[in-house]
Amino acid sequence: MTTQICPRAAENGADLSMMKPPFNGEMVWREDNTCSYCGGLNPEEFMRRLEAQDIEVGPTDKNYKVYVKDLEGKPVGGPSGKFYFQHLNPDQMTRFIELYNECKIKMGYPGHFYVSPFFCKPAPTQES
């Protein structure tokens, strides 16, 4: 089995070292579909549920994280219900943007991001 490093840990400079997991960034997907390092929801589960429109994404003041709840308001993916965008691959990032632009993502209060995800940019405006 190939050792995986959590993208959150890798971003902070973690690598395989003498430290024991998870402190060196090693991760596995736990039974509750969360990362053993950062606790974030599995990106495949996150995207599947976004597509099904059976979750609500709660905006934060961070460009790398959202909170995830089911439609009854219960956290999805562990007790904190968080998702870290660093876990998305480029295709998933593109699909996330498509879903957002098509207004197919259920957003929690206030109904929009406070800070856009780090991989999103406003569309260029066309001057007439």
- pLDDT at residue 119, rounded to an integer: 95
Residue 69 located in a structural domain: yes
Residue 84 located in a structural domain: yes
Q: Across all residues in the chain, what is the average pLDDT?
A: 87
Residue 61 lies in domain? 4-101
- The strand pair at 26-27 and 4-5 is best described as antiparallel
For the ranges 11-15, 27-31, 80-84, the one whose mean pLDDT is highest: 80-84
Q: Is the pLDDT of residue 128 over 80?
A: no
Contact of 107 with 59, CB cutoff 8 Å: yes
Q: Is the pLDDT of residue 56 over 80?
A: yes
- Comparing CA positions, the residue from 52, 87, 51 lying closest to residue 66 is 87
Residue 27 located in a structural domain: yes
- Rounded Cα–Cα distance for residues 26 and 120 (Å): 27
Residue 114 located in a structural domain: no
Give the phi and the psi of residue 57 in degrees, each rounded to 5: -95, 125
- The strand pair at 82-84 and 65-70 is best described as antiparallel
What is the per-residue pLDDT across 74-127, written as a single tens digit (0 to 9) for each?
A: 999 888 899 999 999 999 999 999 999 999 999 999 999 999 999 998 777 776
Number of domain units in the chain? 1
